[in-house]
Amino acid sequence: MFVTSAKFVAATSAQFSRLFSKSMCGKAAALAIFDAGLKRADPYTAVFNYLKTSKDSIDGVPVGESKSVVVVGGGKAAVRMAEATEDFFKDRIHSGHVVTKYKHAAGNHLHRIGITEAAHPVPDKNSVAGSMTLFDTLKNKPKDSVVITLISGGGSALLSAPAPNVTLDDIRQTTNVLLACGATIHEINSIRKHLSIIKGGHLAEAAFPNPCYSLILSDVMGDDLSTIASGPTHFDHTSFQDCKNIIDKYGIWDKLSEGVRKQIQGGVDGTVKETPKENSEVFKKCVYTLVGNNDQSLDVAAAKAKELGYNPVVMYSGLEGEATLMAKKLIDMAHAIKSGKGKVAAPAAIIAGGETTVNLGSKFGLGGRNQEMALSAAIQLNGEKGITFLSGGTDGTDGPCDAAGGVVDGESYNKGVKKGLKAEDFLKAHDAYNYLKHLDGEHIVTGPTGTNVMDIAVVLVE
C-alpha cells in the first residue's frame, strides 16, 4: 500500500518509491512522510509478530502454543488481523468470524475465519447480523479452546447488537445526533456501550470461562482499551449516569428516541443492568495487547522526515478539537518556525496524530475532518510559499467519500480562484471534498488500507 495525491493515483509502487528521495520537498515529501507512518500501522505484520514472539500466557499455556483457537473480532483492520492469525495457527483454528467495513475484505485469503462486511460510521443490519454471528461462534467454542479477539478502529459501529429497549434505527439516529453535535469519540463510545449487548465487556462475557486474548490496534488517543471499539472485551469505566451527563452537556435529550431515553434513564434508576466492571470474574482470564497505535506511526513518520532532511517536531495526541481551529494552530506553529521563533529551525516537519471533530449542523456537504483541515489550511496560506499542509486518515477514508484526506500549499487557494471557486463558501458548507476534487493533486487517495490508527497530519516548512 502506498499513498499519493489524486494526481499520482495511477503511479506504480516502484515509481512512487523513486519519488521518495532526499531532494523531495513540498507535497511529495509530505506524502512520503504520511506513507511511512501508514506502513508502520500494517495490521498483518503487527499481529503475526506478536503471535510469533509473545510470552503471554493464561493457565500456563503461551498464546502461540494454543492447540485450539476460536477467533472473533471487528474493525476496519479485522480482516488483515485475521489473515495473520490464520496464517500463524493454520489448522489449529477451530472456527472464527470477524466484522469489517464494506470493501475492506477484498482479496483476502481466509479459509477458516468468516467475514461479514457492514456499514461505518453508522451501523446497518449487517452490523447486527455479524455481531450475532460472533456470539454464535463463541457459543459453540470447544471447552479447551483459547479465544482470540481482534479489535481495531471502527469496531464501535461495526459491532452493533442493540439492547432490548433500543432498535438499530435508534442507534443510527443516536450516532447521527452525536456526530452532528460534535461529541468526542470517547463520549460517543460511552453511550454506544450502554445501548449494546456486545460492547463494554459483553463480548468477554460470551468468551468466558475460556482464556481470552485481545489483540488491539488502537484508534483512540491515550489508547484506553475500554474505549477502542467501545471495549467489547474490556471492563467498562463509564456508567449510565455518565451517558446522561454527556447528553445533558450537549442538550440533545429531546433529540433521542423514546427507546434510547428509556434505556439510559433505566440505567440511571437501576432498573437496567450496568455494563460489567473491573471486579467481574470474567476479566480474570483476559489478556490485552496493544499491537499498534498512532504514536508508533508518528515515530516512524518522524524518522522519514529526518531522512528527507527535515527537523521533526512530533505532537503525540496533538490532533484534537474542532478541525478548522486545529488547522489554524498548526499553521501558526509553521509560521513561528518560518520566522525563526519555533521549537526547531527550518526546514522542519510538524507531525501530529489524533482525531479532530467537525460540528456539522443540520446541513452539510461532502468530506471529512481531514479534508476540512486541509481546506481551512489552504485558505490561511492563500498564496504563501514555503509551507505544505497534509492531513489524512490512516484507514484510507475521510467521511463518506473516496479520499483519505487532503494535501495543500499556498497555491491551492489560487487554483480555486482561477476555477471560479470560493474556498470560504465550501468551508462554511462543510463541503471540502467538492472543493478539493476540482483542484489538481490536492486529494489523498489510498483506497481502503486495512488499518486504522487515527489520523496523521504533516506540516512542512521549507
DSSP per residue, 228-297:
GGG-TTS-----HHHHHHHHHHHT-GGGS-HHHHHHHHHHHHTSSPPPP-TTSGGGGGEEEEEEE-HHHH
Given this model, what pLDDT does residue 18 score? 38
Tens digit of each residue's pLDDT (9 = 90 or more) over 433-442: 999 999 988 9
Q: Residue 458 pLDDT more than 50?
A: yes
> Where does the chain hold its CATH 3.40.1480.10 domain(s)?
4-40+295-461
Residues of the chain within CATH 3.40.50.10180 domain(s) are: 43-161+196-238+275-292
Class of domain 4-40+295-461 (CATH, top level): alpha beta
Q: What is the mean pLDDT of residues 9-23?
A: 42
Average pLDDT of the residues in 161-168: 94
pLDDT digit string, tens, across residues 82-131: 999 999 999 999 999 999 999 899 999 999 999 999 998 888 999 999 99
Q: Where are the alpha helices (DSSP H) in 291-450?
A: 294-307, 323-338, 369-381, 410-418, 423-428, 432-436
pTM: 0.79
**Which H or E run contains 457?**
strand 455-461
What is the chain's alpha carbon radius of gyration, rounded to the nearest angstrom?
22
Distance CA 3, CA 406 (A): 11
Question: Is pLDDT of 293 > 60?
Answer: yes
Q: Which helix (H) or strand (E) holds 444?
A: strand 443-445
How far apart are alpha carbons 163 and 63 in whole angstroms?
Answer: 33
Percent helix, strand, coil in the chain (nearest 5)?
45, 20, 40
Which residues neighbour 389 within 8 Å (Cβ) at sequence distance 6 or greater?
A: 30, 327, 330, 331, 334, 373, 374, 377, 378, 381, 407, 408, 409, 457, 458, 459
In the sheet with 146-152, reading across from the earlier edge strand, the strands are 114-118, 93-101, 69-74, 146-152, 212-217, 286-292
Output the nine-digit C-alpha cell for 280: 467481574
Partners of 354 in beta bridges: 319, 455
Q: Going by DSSP bridges, is the β-strand pair 455-461/387-393 parallel, antiparallel, or unpaired?
A: antiparallel
Let me know: does 104 contact 117? Beta carbons within 8 Å.
yes
Check whether 179 has a pLDDT greater than 70: yes
User: Which tens digits make up the pLDDT trace of 314-367?
Assistant: 999 889 999 999 999 999 999 999 999 999 999 999 999 999 999 887 778 899
Query: Does the structural domain 43-161+196-238+275-292 have CATH classification 3.40.1310.30?
Result: no
